Amino acid sequence: MITFATISFLGLPLLAILLLNVVSKKTGGAISISVGYVVAIIQMIAAVVCMALLWMHGKDFIEFSLFWDMNATLGAAKLSVDLFSLVVLFCIGMVSLASLLTAKKTIGEKTLNYTNLLMVIMLGMNGIAVVTDLFSLYVFLEITGIASFVLIALLNDKRGLEGAFKYLVMSAIASALILGSFALIFTQTGSLVYGDVAKALADWRNAQYAPLLIVGFVMFIAGFSIKAGIAPFHGWLPDAYQSAPASVSVLLGGIVTKMAGVYALIRVLNSVFVAMPMINNTLLILGLISIVFGAVAACGQKDFKRILAYSSISQIGYIILGVASGSLLGFVGAMLHFFNHATFKTTLFVNSAAVEMQTGTTDIDQLGGLQARMPVTAVSSILAFLSMAGIPPLAGFWSKLLIIIAVWQSVSAVGGGIALAASIFTAAYFLILQRKVFFGPLEDHLTEVTEAKGTISLAAVLLSIVTVAFGVLFPVILNFLHLQGIL
Amino acid sequence: MQQFFIVLCLVLMVVAGGAAVMLRSMLKSTISLGVASALLAAVLFLLGAFWAAIFELSVCSGLITVVFVSAVSLTNSDRKDEEHVKEHRARVAALPAILIFAGASLLFILFSHDFNIVISSTPASFAAFKEALWSLRQSDILGQIIAILAGTFAVIVLFKERDNI
Amino acid sequence: MNIVSAIILTAALLMIIAGMFCLVRTYNLIRIIIAIEIAMKAITLLLVFAGAVNGNMALSQTFVITMIVIEVIVAVVAAGIAISLYHKNGNVDIRELTNLKG
């Protein structure tokens, strides 16, 4: 049972790729989206099963291998899942499902290519979640990157190709910085397995090659800041989100940047660079800049997807802030905000896809009064935005609260205060967007618009239910945290 | 003697890398990158990384050069009109000065501090290499397979179905 | 300071600088990809250097081999996107890429 569940994270998408490409191209195209549904749903179930098994056996993590058993080999790059990776594996399944539901209506002829690449990007992200070795982390980061460039350029239109090329260049710089930093760290440690590196770096100030390590840390932070789109390194992110096809924007905004940048960063901070105040403080400042900059910049945008992209920069700042606070409470808050952000940002991108499909544009100046014509989209986007702005009792409020408390307690009241104040800007761009797109008088050319039927509305409804239910049930989690002595 | 060759190859590699930036003809620039790659392979060989050197020589200096030469000829980007040439020359003219300055400062910093890095330079035996690749790095092999799949789909999307729309 | 180590580190830094300089100063899409490749040469050198210093040459070579495979794929994808852009725009000038603004 446990072997099956863990192996499915990497084995199942591979199997799906094999299945889709051995059958004829026509059949492959016809069944591809359904196969994708199955893979995404099984991944969500497997993640929940693994969580239950972890809890039942009282273990912290499960180690597993794919081709041949590696537990006997010393210094091997093993695969392992713990609670945090299971939460993100669940998110990957959920966002992939939402992306597939959106793609069913919007992708047109390209279903086979889209599903193949979606499986590859899922493999890449699942790999990031389960590896325990810095070099393997780099390998899967690159796989995720390659698949996302091609997905952005999937329709071969001018804008998509342009966004893909910009993303590729920034991502290549980030990869060079990240791998360079790993090489410098490897000079000192002689191994890149998380545990070994953490041990070797425990007393890094007195290490033989300490100057190389300092250069390595700087390159590491810069590289991951680019990958995560943290503010001053965010240049590529709005372009990539805006230019991608609707269903790919859902995927990118919902999970890809968060896996490639934020999750990988958190994982390395927690298991490798344990207790390094220098790195934490840098990230704290970057997180605060990101929160404020993203929120302010979002207020000045004219495109639905671009507003969402800048709001991602701001929300990712909160996740980074929670982790950089260095306390367990901050980490839990970051993990929960990761999940919440995956839910509400995916909802909003699904909504933008619905608006784009029905009206043909995402320019907010050309939209208006869609509330009456597209009620499901309007309501789900309001719920998602309320959650993002931190209005109780929706899920976003609780995770933001935990992060701000953590920062307030363990770092400084000023940081917590800035983070709190920036929430007001979230409400501001939310109001701008809602007023221009959904409220107000209906624009003349939009009188024929109808609600997006079928799977897109289904995705929006399902995700809204998750947002609301998670928020309402949150006191249970708070109680659990209290019992554990974290809160 | 071996040390002298390592230093020589490194200096030539930086020169070739700089030339790849400076040269105004795209084709020459591409070939210059291939030369830099080949010189890097020589350095790797002299450092004792035999298998990595073979890969660097055949794949990076061979295959990637072919990819770039085809890209240059397919995009016809080897424009030689006078204005363009002048512009490129003006924009990259500062590179040699920057490189010399940066190199001199780093060497000065490295030698003026009490900081020593010694190269042990023991080439790995084939058995150790095989052990490392196949027993320790299962996730990397899986990663390579997935990366190649990603590359295949990329080629299908970008080349095969481009003209259909 | 060992002279060979110093020269290797300097060469790596210079290759990274050359790559980044080219990246910000050129307008040609293909030359941007070449710039990335130049920087990756430095990373390859650093990885093997790391193996030579800590004596774990076997491991560092497996890293380099995997990295080369990925480097090639990234180069092919980048070249593919550049060629497609050429087909759309008729040139490979990055100043033509102005469809995305905000």
Percent of chain A surpassing pLDDT 90: 42
Chains that touch A (3 or more CB pairs under 8 A): B, C
Chain C interface test: which of A73, A120, A162 (most C C-beta within 10 Å): A162
- H-run or E-run covering B110: helix B95-112
Note the pLDDT tens digit of each residue in A340-387.
999 999 999 999 999 888 888 888 888 877 877 888 888 898 899 888
CA angle B58, B60, B61 (to 5 degrees): 70
Q: Provide the pLDDT confidence category of residue B43 given band limits of 50, 70 and 90.
A: very high
Contact flag A153-C81 (C-beta cutoff 8 Å) = yes
Domain count for chain B: 2
Q: Where are the alpha helices (DSSP H) in A360-452?
A: 370-373, 375-389, 395-410, 413-437
Chain A interface test: which of B130, B135, B144, B149 (most A C-beta within 10 Å): B149
Note the pLDDT tens digit of each residue in A218-231.
999 999 999 998 98
Q: Is-contact A384 A300, C-beta < 8 A?
A: no
Q: Alpha-carbon distance A458 to A453, whole Å?
A: 8
Contact flag B153-A75 (C-beta cutoff 8 Å) = no
Q: Beta partners for A61? A: A82
Q: Alpha-carbon distance A25 to A113, whole Å?
A: 10
Contacts of A159 in chain C (CB under 8 A): 99-100
Closest approach of chain A CAs to the CA of C56, in angstroms?
A: 6
Domains of chain A, residue spans: 276-487
Q: Alpha-carbon distance C94 to C78, whole Å?
A: 14
Q: Provide the pLDDT confidence category of residue B11 given band limits of 50, 70 and 90.
A: very high
Q: Provide the pLDDT confidence category of residue B81 given band limits of 50, 70 and 90.
A: low
Residue in C6, C63, C77 closest to B151 by CB: C77
Q: Is-contact B106 B33, C-beta < 8 A?
A: no
Do residue B147 and residue B94 come from a single domain? no
SS3 percent helix, strand, coil of chain A, rounded to 5, is 80, 5, 20
Write the burial class of residue A408 (CB in 10 Å: 0-12 exposed, 13-18 middle, 19+ buried).
Answer: middle
Do residue B115 and residue B135 come from a single domain? no
Contacts of B160 in chain A (CB under 8 A): none
For residue A26, the one-letter residue type is: K
Note the pLDDT tens digit of each residue in A228-263.
989 888 888 988 898 999 999 999 998 999 999 899
pLDDT, residue B164, reads 47
Question: Once rounded to an integer, what is the mean pLDDT over residues A76-105?
Answer: 91
Closest approach of chain B CAs to the CA of A157, in angstroms?
A: 10
Contact flag C58-B132 (C-beta cutoff 8 Å) = yes
Closest approach of chain B CAs to the CA of C46, in angstroms?
A: 10
SS3 C93: strand
Structural domain of B90: 2-122
pLDDT, residue B90, reads 84
Q: Alpha-carbon distance A293 to A181, whole Å?
A: 27
Sequence-ordered list of residues with C-beta below 8 angstroms from that of B83, at least 6 positions apart, any chain: none
Residue C13, chain A, CB below 8 Å: the answer is no
For C66, nearest residue in chain A (alpha carbons): A139
pLDDT, residue A280, reads 87
Q: Which of A37-51, A121-135, B100-114, B122-136 has the lowest mean pLDDT?
A: B122-136
Contact flag C61-B155 (C-beta cutoff 8 Å) = no
Q: Provide the pLDDT confidence category of residue B165 given band limits of 50, 70 and 90.
A: very low
Q: Indicate whether B144 pLDDT > 70.
A: yes
Do residue B128 and residue B154 come from a single domain? yes
Q: Indicate whether C6 pLDDT > 80.
A: yes
Q: Indicate whether B121 pLDDT > 70.
A: no
Do residue B84 and residue B40 come from a single domain? yes
pLDDT, residue A177, reads 95
Q: Alpha-carbon distance C46 to C84, whole Å?
A: 34
Contact flag B49-C28 (C-beta cutoff 8 Å) = no
Question: Once rounded to an integer, what is the mean pLDDT over residues A198-226?
Answer: 89
How far is C-alpha A78 from the geometric centre of its chain's CA atoms? 24
CATH number of the domain where residue B35 is located: 1.20.120.1200
Q: Alpha-carbon distance A448 to A166, whole Å?
A: 37
Percent of chain B surpassing pLDDT 70: 92
Mean pLDDT of chain B: 86
Closest approach of chain B CAs to the CA of C97, in angstroms?
A: 16
Contacts of A145 in chain C (CB under 8 A): 74
Q: Indicate whether B65 pLDDT > 50.
A: yes
Percent of chain B surpassing pLDDT 90: 50
Mean pLDDT of chain A: 88
Do residue B39 and residue B104 come from a single domain? yes
- H-run or E-run covering B150: helix B138-155
Contact flag A176-C40 (C-beta cutoff 8 Å) = yes
Q: Indicate whether A474 pLDDT > 90.
A: no
Chain A residues bordering chain B (beta-carbon distance below 8 Å) = 10, 14, 17, 65-68, 70, 73, 75-79, 113, 116-117, 120, 123-124, 127, 131, 133, 135-136, 139-140, 142-143, 146-147, 149-150, 153-156, 187, 209, 211-212
Residue in C56, C66, C81 closest to A161 by CB: C81
Contact flag B52-C48 (C-beta cutoff 8 Å) = yes
For B66, nearest residue in chain C (alpha carbons): C76
Question: Once rounded to an integer, what is the mean pLDDT over residues A74-91?
Answer: 86
Size of interface A-C (CB pairs under 8 A): 110
Contact flag C81-A172 (C-beta cutoff 8 Å) = no
Sequence-ordered list of residues with C-beta below 8 angstroms from that of B161, at least 6 positions apart, any chain: A113, A156
Q: Which long-range contacts (CB under 8 A, 24 or more apart) does A68-71 make?
A: A68/B138, A70/B135, A70/B138
Closest approach of chain B CAs to the CA of A140, in angstroms?
A: 6
pLDDT, residue A270, reads 86
Q: Indicate whether A274 pLDDT > 60.
A: yes
Chains that touch B (3 or more CB pairs under 8 A): A, C
Do residue B14 and residue B67 come from a single domain? yes
Contact flag A191-C100 (C-beta cutoff 8 Å) = no
Going from the N-terminus, what domains does chain C have, and what CATH number goes with each?
3-92 (1.10.287.3510)
Residue in C41, C73, C77 closest to B40 by CB: C41
Q: Provide the pLDDT confidence category of residue C14 given band limits of 50, 70 and 90.
A: very high
Residue C21, chain B, CB below 8 Å: the answer is yes
Note the pLDDT tens digit of each residue in B124-143.
788 888 877 777 888 888 99
Q: Indicate whether C60 pLDDT > 70.
A: yes
End-to-end CA distance of chain B: 60
Note the pLDDT tens digit of each residue in A118-166.
999 999 999 999 998 999 999 999 999 999 999 999 988 888 999 999 9
Q: What is the largest CA-CA distance in chain C?
A: 53
Q: Provide the pLDDT confidence category of residue A68 given band limits of 50, 70 and 90.
A: low
pLDDT, residue C101, reads 61
Question: Once rounded to an integer, what is the mean pLDDT over residues A61-73?
Answer: 72
Closest CA relative to residue C69, chosen from B80, B165, B141? B141
Q: What is the ipTM of this complex?
A: 0.95
pLDDT, residue B30, reads 93
A-contacting residues in C 40-69 (Cβ below 8 Å):
40, 42-43, 46-47, 49-51, 53-56, 59-60, 63, 66-67
SS3 A378: helix
Contact flag C16-A176 (C-beta cutoff 8 Å) = yes
Do residue B59 and residue B69 come from a single domain? yes
Q: Rounded to 5 degrees, what are φ and ψ at A58?
A: 65, 30
Q: Provide the pLDDT confidence category of residue C1 given band limits of 50, 70 and 90.
A: low
Write the burial class of residue B164 (CB in 10 Å: 0-12 exposed, 13-18 middle, 19+ buried).
Answer: exposed
